[in-house]
Structure 1
Amino acid sequence: MRAGKKIETVTEYVENSEKNSVDLDQALNIAGFGWYNAKYCLVLALFLIAAIVEPVGYSFVLPAAKCDLQLTDAQRGFIASIPYIGIVITSYPWGYIVDTQGRKRTLIYSSMAAGFFGMLSAFMPERISFIVCKFMNALCIASPAAVPYTFIGEIVPQRNRDLTMSVVNAMQILGSALVPLLAWAILPTNFRANFGLYDFSPWRLLVILNSALFVIAATLMAFGSESPKYLVAQGKHDEAIKVLQTIYSGNKGISPEDYPVKSLKMPNSNELEKRGIMTSLKDQTVPLMKPRLLKWLALNGFLFFGAFATLNGLYVWVPDILNRVISGNGEDMTACQVIAQRFNQDRKKTLLVIVFCLIGVFCILINFITDPMGFAVLLSSLPIMGLTIGPINSFAVEIFPTQLRGMAISLSMMMGRIGSIVGTNVAGVLINVVCEATFYLFGGLLLLCGLLTFLLPRSQPPLEQFKLSTHL
């Protein structure tokens, strides 16, 4: 009886109150969290998985393609950094496009292009054409590598946001585990089909499968809705209401018309005024350069730099390192000694501190472990760094306003990809020259990131489930 009275009070409050316009966070809180959010986040997670599988796949593709493409170790290091070079170059323009043209459209077009050029590279007969196609693919990856985090933060109620980010992040890490599984299933088959200028071999099939994830994700996204926060920021009130009705209906299993919110608080008309491209770019960038937001942008960027330098930089060389160590005569020797011989505040913040410090310590311990299985375990722990991406982006969603969020996350992720480029090439150069220093360097960087994490702001408390949303 009391529950029925509560529903009546909510409806009356929303429909008849003089203050019947609610802000979007409250509207999302009313729409709830359920099946609609879950399936949408699964699709967005697929974009993130694709953006991880593509560059990480190089660590298995390039050794297999070494003979066909006539690659030296230095060239392998350069090609492995191509995805991150492309992301660094295009993060700024993709951030602008995401904030001005919409999350959904940008994700679909960029992912389709990334998938097309990635699969096309599998049919290239020699090194130069392969690199060109991979570079075109890399120019499109910045969008699916960053936009899903913005999207998730804008379709999930605030009280469920951190958990959702963590789950999606865990799925992304599981996606990185897909890379060695695919390589293990395909590369040993040793089939070859003559295509005239070249033989189609297993590594080419692996390239196609790695890139196909972009096309699958973009196809599924075509059936989804635009971000309601983007629609509100663009002054599209009725479209935003329709999306919220769809979310409400999908989560509750009832008619969209039953959604009680009929009016949303909209931005001022001055904010919606049509602007030229240069003016728009200025408006998207200058606010981020002001001290209030610049300090958080710089901190987020540095944390990403440390995470990606290890996750996508040092990790690229893990298969090669493990192969050298396990196949060498390295009893009672550390990993670097074997290589030298052969060559001659909250849960989010707590998670970040633990992961950065734990993997940092693991990197340093590699120099002291003499058991091959022990340092294999330590090296294989590097993908755990992927757990940091979700929390850092979750902080970004809280810190930066909607109209700047896409740009801010893109620029932060750009710093992360610069870390990938630096990490890949630094590890490639140092691992054979001053191996111990390599692991000390990466371990120290991660420990520094762990300390800097304490500078992040306290998380905002979730919206109270007050009378507007308690029992709907």
Structure 2
Amino acid sequence: MAINGVVLSGRNEKLSHTTLDEAMLLSGFGVYNILHMLMCGLILMGVIMQSLALGYVMPAAQCDLDLTLQQRGWLAAIPFAAIILTSYFWGWLADTQGRRPVMLFSMILSAIFSVFTSFSPNLISFAVLQFISSVFMSGPSAVVYTYLGEFNSLRHRDKMVAFGSSFVGIGTVVLPGISWLILPVEFYHPISFLDIAYRPWRLLVVACALPYAISAIFLMFAPESPKFLNAIGEYEVCLDVVKTIYSVNQRMPKDSFPVKSLIVENHINKDVDSHGIGAVLRSMRDQTVPLFKRPLLPWTCLTCFVQFGIFATTNGFYVWFPSILNSLANHDGGEASICDILDATRLPADNGTLIECNDTMNTETFERSIYIGLVFSSMYIIVGFLVDFVGKKPILVVILSVTGMCGIGAHLVPNSQVGVVLFAIFQMSGACIGLMTAVAVELFPTKYRAMAVCLSMMMGRVGSMAGSNLIGVFLQSNCGISFYLFGGIIIVNALFCLTLPGKKQDNKPVKDTVVEPAENETHEPV
């Protein structure tokens, strides 16, 4: 008899008492893993939709909240700031209290505060409630990858995490689709005691929280991660979860699972004899300081700078993308560059008064956003196929060079339609985020690998926050600078990538690269 390719004949006695990794392998791969991946994918879609929703909300809310471009810039940075400030806390909480309760608690509260945000009467209340909602939104963003990976054996873990990550791209298509359904609808419901009118943009804020609300319902029926249960000594409960996975995948009764008990493994507990903030800080210091010493210092600087530039460009511009597309769609003049059209929408009238506030969204904005989201998602797939044949370094250099030049060209071309195409290609630099994470995994020793990835991703989030604010300032004062600056940064990133090891190094076995189970790791891969 064989299960998942593992022959049981002659090994029944040995398999009846085995490790969790062996038991996960025997549980097989099938319906349970796919359904679990879809649930985690829905959570990831909720993360990206709530992170980028303000790009569609702010153009429609600018009149109600009396928003300037600078205010829209720091509002767009709120979700990224929340992730930067609280990801470590959520990771620590998930390592001590469990993955499932942390995600369930944070998703429910994030959805509730999103509803409260939709009733905000002014800018300050909107910003405060949006920040609180984003703080709870960042909980699953720091934990869901770990929760997804720990329900799969080592054989299928990378594949399932990759499939789950694809929902991030799907979210960039669903978000403009939902916005297209809601924002063009005209309704106006006054709420006198709040002194507001409930309009479509407020409903969109609630709609973007729906993936979290739906995921929370599914998560109520899902178990805790078997890896976490095993790590805290709940071996019987852990084995019962693995038996459930086996029963669903193999369509067999749970009692037929060959493993009857799990081997008690010696888990590495950091600072087991010390507690408190001092132990946490010492652990962080020991893991971080070597990254800023030779020989790792150059690679730390390279990965952090490249991720900062890509995140600042991709996420920084994305939150302004609907506003830019909407201005172009509403332009009824002759040929003009993107910046000329954006500047024209803010010019004062001849009598010195400002042009009347216009918060209508042209349907072409949503249509173009969906097309670009589809191309963006496809780019991930193309890069995934090419990387095994070409190598990471050539792909990084070519994509970053081409997209950087397209970013500068988007400002220079006099035709707005051509400018939009170049601008869309400019956004494709985001497809290199995953490649840079893979590069970081190979460049750093196993001992410091997780911290190096965390640090580079943290710098990327800082880039998102800085980019959205800087672009808001430049679009108000000097539109062209935003394209020159961030296009130039992407080109410089490409030059930095020339120093990376080549394809031979990519294929060369690394001695310290050992397949290890993710154990209490809550860092966020791309």
Q: 1:97 corresponds to which residue?
A: 93
Using the TM superposition, give the Cα deviation of residue 200 of structure 1 relative to its aligned residue in structure 2, in angstroms.
0.9
Is the 2:404–2:488 contact (alpha carbons within 8 Å) kept by the matching residues of 1?
A: yes
Q: Percent identity?
A: 31
SS at match of 1:322: helix
The aligned counterpart of 1:222 is 220
**Matching residue of 2:422:** 378
**In structure 1, distance between residues paired with 2:409 and 2:158:** 32
Counterpart residue identity of residue 486, structure 2: F
Residue type of the alignment partner of 1:245: K
* Structure 1 position 31 matched with structure 2 position 51: no
CA contact (8 A) 2:90 2:142 kept: no
Instruction: Work out whether 1:414 is the aligned partner of 2:458.
Output: yes
1:403 to partner: Cα distance? 12
Work out whether residues 440 and 449 of structure 2, in 8 Å CA contact, stay in contact via their aligned partners in 1: no
Alignment of 1:129 with 2:125, yes or no, is yes
- The offset of 1:280, in angstroms, is 5.3
- Report if the CA contact (8 A) 2:243-2:254 is conserved: yes
Preserved contact between residue 56 and residue 316 of structure 1 (Cα < 8 Å)? yes
State yes or no: 1:278 paired with 2:277.
yes
Q: In 1, Cα distance between the equivalents of 2:67 and 2:289?
A: 45
**Cα deviation 1:62-109 (Å, max 9, x = unaligned):** 111111112122111111111111111112211211222221111111
Q: Which moved more, 1:189-198 or 1:29-38?
A: 29-38
Q: What is the total number of aligned residue pairs between the two structures?
A: 458
- Which piece of structure 1 moves more, 449-458 or 374-383? 449-458
In the alignment, residue 311 of structure 1 is paired with which amino acid?
Answer: T
Give 1:166-177 correspondences, 5 Å limit.
166-177=162-173
Deviations 1:177-218 (A, max 9, x none): 222222221112120111102111111111111123222212
Asked if structure 1 preserves the Cα contact closer than 8 Å seen for 2:308 and 2:462, the reply is yes
Pair 306,101 (structure 1): closer, same or farther in 2 beyond 3 Å: farther
**Which whole-Å CA distance do the structure 2 matches of 1:193 and 1:213 have between them?**
25
Distance in 1, matches of 2:447 and 2:216, equals 23
2:111 aligned to which of 104, 115, 125: 115
- Conserved in 2, the CA contact under 8 Å of 1:324 and 1:342? yes
- For 1:253 and 1:341, the matched residues in 2 are separated by 64
Alignment-derived partner of residue 263 in structure 1 = 262
1:181 aligns with 2:177: yes
1:207-232 CA distances to partner (integer Å, 9 max, x unpaired)?
11112322221221121122222233
Paired residue for 1:430, among 464, 474, 482? 474
Q: What letter corresponds to residue 56 of structure 1 in structure 2?
A: L
Greater relative contact order (Cα < 8 A, sep 6+): 1
Q: Residue 196 of structure 2 aligns with which residue?
A: 198
Q: Are 1:241 and 2:285 an aligned pair?
A: no
Structure with greater helix share of residues: 1
Question: Alpha-carbon deviations, 1:270-327, whole Å to 9, x = none?
Answer: 6695753325524652443152699587766555433432232111111222233344
The range that moved more, 181-190 or 451-460, is 451-460
Work out whether residues 331 and 370 of structure 1, in 8 Å CA contact, stay in contact via their aligned partners in 2: no
Match of 2:56 in 1: 60
- Distance in 2 of aligned mates of 1:107 and 1:220: 12
Summarize deviations over 1:6-64 as a string: whole Å, max 9, x none: 989535336337x953362x443333322111111111111211111113111111111
Matching residue of 2:65:
69
Write the letter of the residue equivalent to 1:310.
Answer: T
**In the alignment, is the contact (CA less than 8 A) between 2:306 and 2:493 conserved in 1?**
yes
Distance in 2 between the 1:402 and 1:12 partners?
A: 38
Aligned-residue Cα RMSD (Å) equals 3.8
Whole-angstrom distance in 1 between the partners of 2:447 and 2:86: 20
Counterpart of 2:524 in structure 1 is none
Out of 135, 144, 147, the position equivalent to 1:148 is 144
Answer yes or no: is the 8 Å Cα contact 1:165–1:390 preserved in 2. no
Mapped to 2, the partners of 1:147 and 1:351 lie a distance apart of 32
Q: Select the residue among 17, 21, 29 that pairs with 2:18.
A: 21
Report the TM-score, using the length of structure 2 for normalisation: 0.75
Question: Secondary structure, in 3 states, of the residue corresponding to 2:467?
Answer: helix
Gaps of 5+ in 1: 464-472
Inter-CA distance 184–335: structure 2 relative to 1 (3 Å threshold)? same
Q: Report what 2:308 is aligned to.
A: 305
| Residue deviations 1:224-271 (CA, integer Å, cap 9, x gap) | 122222233333333332222222222222223333344346124866
Moved more, 302-311 or 96-105: 302-311
| Counterparts in 2 of 1:97 and 1:6: CA distance versus 1, 3 Å | closer
- The one-letter amino acid paired with 2:97 is Q
Distance 1:224 1:11, change over 3 A: farther
CA distance in 2, matches of 1:257, 1:322: 59
**Does the aligned pair in 1 maintain the 2:6–2:26 contact within 8 Å?**
no
Alignment-derived partner of residue 232 in structure 1: 230
Deviation at 1:117, TM superposition (A): 0.9
Tell me, yes or no, if the aligned pair for 2:107 and 2:216 is still in contact at 8 Å.
yes
- Aligned 8 A contact 2:271 2:279 in 1: no
- Deviation string 1:411-467 (CA, Å, 9 cap, x unpaired) is 55433321111110111122344434422332343345555494697796879xxxx
Q: State the SS of the aligned residue for 1:423.
A: helix
Q: Secondary structure at the match of 2:8?
A: helix
Worse-matched range after superposition: 185-194 or 169-178? 169-178
Residue 317 of structure 1 aligns with an amino acid whose one-letter code is W
TM-score w.r.t. the length of structure 1 is 0.82
**Contact 1:192 1:200 (8 Å CA) reproduced:** yes
Inter-partner Cα distance in structure 2 for 1:333 and 1:53: 32
Q: What's the offset of the Cα at 1:337?
A: 4.4
SS of the residue corresponding to residue 199 of structure 1 reads strand
How far apart, in 2, do the equivalents of 1:351 and 1:210 lie? 37
Letter in 2 for 1:213: P
- Cα gap change, 1:246/1:397 in structure 2, threshold over 3 Å: closer, same or farther? farther
What is the aligned partner in structure 2 of residue 314 from structure 1? 317
In structure 2, stretches of 5+ residues that fail to align are 348-386, 517-526
